[in-house]
Amino acid sequence: MAAMEIIHGLYSLKPRHKNCVLTIGNFDGVHHGHQLLLAHLVAKGRELGVPSLLLTFEPLPREFFAGSSVPARLTRFREKITLLQRTELDRVLCLPFNERTRRTSAEWVIEELLHNMLGIRYVVVGDDFRFGKDQAGDYDMLKKAGDHYGFGVSQLGTLTFEHERVSSSRIREVLAEGNFELAEKLLGHPYFIMGRVVYGRQLGRELGSPTANIRLQRYRAALDGVYAVRASGLDRTYEGIANIGIRPTVDGKEPLLEVHIFDFSRDIYGELLTVEFLHKIRDEQTFDGLEALTAQIQADIRTAKSWFADADA
């Protein structure tokens, strides 16, 4: 199977990218509902003999509109691409969502982007799909445009699980409750965060529990607190404990994922680490000094190791 192609920006489009089947959306989490839609798209592409393409945005539109009140997201761009690569999707076109994008009319999207630039043969969208300035575009507009320009249009209904809609917002709620078993059923994969290990303040080492640190940058994760985790991307998969949050006891300012890997002491700065969340131990909290924080970290490690022992029994 050929590697999925990632196209950054309209300026990167080439004549060979014209003629495809298309879907558009955030695909945050690439959950079961997304996977179903992508499978339908890929099948249609094979039927028509053309590549399948997902058009998505960075930042997500809701992040652009939220400003400083950034909502949580399930997957950053790297994680989303990793999950999309597990499907049979051929291409991803990622466009920046900015003020110019916000002002783009639904008519321009159809005539210039979809028809002239991409030459779409077929488009499939979800049942809540809207597009263009002020969300003026919808399925009915696409259907009329398809009749005019000669491309097919279909709409997939929302997937449900246990009588509830499978959606990114529901999965965020489930994760916030610490229900990783249900989250995995809705996602179709364990919930994880991945990133490069960066240099930190070395505080964990001073406190007797060195950590691998992953910056979350401006993105707000769907989780915060302390968790039992598995870390992979190294020579094998390791068990460990992770804190995700701003670390109020040490006056942290930016969100950070700190992972203490059990029975591990190698230098892994710069390594790409995948951290799978398995069980919530506690919420993030402020402690009265480093001594209290150290004692709690050791208690959290014992709790996590006990949980792993029970899980493996």
pLDDT at res. 65: 87
pLDDT < 50 positions in the chain: none
User: Residue 15 belongs to what domain range?
Assistant: 5-164
User: Does residue 11 form part of some domain?
Assistant: yes
* Claim to verify: residue 112 and residue 209 sit in the same structural domain: no
3-state class of 162 per DSSP?
Answer: coil
* Claim to verify: residue 18 and residue 145 sit in the same structural domain: yes
Q: How many domains does one find in the chain?
A: 2
Question: For residues 104-114, b (16+ Cβ closer than 10 Å) or e, as one string?
Answer: bebeebbeebb
pLDDT at res. 240: 97
User: Does residue 69 form part of some domain?
Assistant: yes
pLDDT at res. 201: 65
User: Does residue 259 form part of some domain?
Assistant: yes
Mention every residue, 6+ apart, whose C-beta is less than 8 A from residue 214.
Answer: 193, 194, 195, 196, 197, 198, 256, 257, 258, 259, 273, 275
* Claim to verify: residue 152 and residue 279 sit in the same structural domain: no
Q: Which tokens in the block code for residue 309?
A: 């022992």
User: Does residue 185 form part of some domain?
Assistant: no
pLDDT at res. 21: 98
pLDDT at res. 86: 96
Under a CB-based contact definition with an 8 Å cutoff, are residues 231 and 240 in contact?
Answer: yes
* Claim to verify: residue 85 and residue 223 sit in the same structural domain: no
User: Does residue 261 form part of some domain?
Assistant: yes
* Claim to verify: residue 17 and residue 123 sit in the same structural domain: yes
Under a CB-based contact definition with an 8 Å cutoff, are residues 2 and 91 in contact?
Answer: no
* Claim to verify: residue 133 and residue 49 sit in the same structural domain: yes
* Claim to verify: residue 122 and residue 63 sit in the same structural domain: yes
The enclosing domain of 111 has a CATH number of 3.40.50.620
* Claim to verify: residue 112 and residue 12 sit in the same structural domain: yes
3-state class of 295 per DSSP?
Answer: helix
* Claim to verify: residue 199 and residue 78 sit in the same structural domain: no
For residue 120, give the nearest of 160, 149, 78, 148 by alpha carbon: 149
CA torsion sign for 171, 172, 173, 176 is positive
User: Does residue 177 form part of some domain?
Assistant: no
pLDDT at res. 186: 96
* Claim to verify: residue 213 and residue 160 sit in the same structural domain: no
Share of the chain above pLDDT 90, in %: 71
Q: What is the pLDDT of residues 22-36, one digit of tens each?
A: 999 999 999 999 999
User: Does residue 200 form part of some domain?
Assistant: yes
Q: Which tokens in the block code for residue 41?
A: 């798209």
pTM above 0.85, yes or no: yes
The enclosing domain of 220 has a CATH number of 2.40.30.30
Q: What is the pLDDT of residues 197-252, one digit of tens each?
A: 998 766 555 555 788 999 987 677 889 999 999 999 988 999 999 999 876 555 55
User: Does residue 178 form part of some domain?
Assistant: no
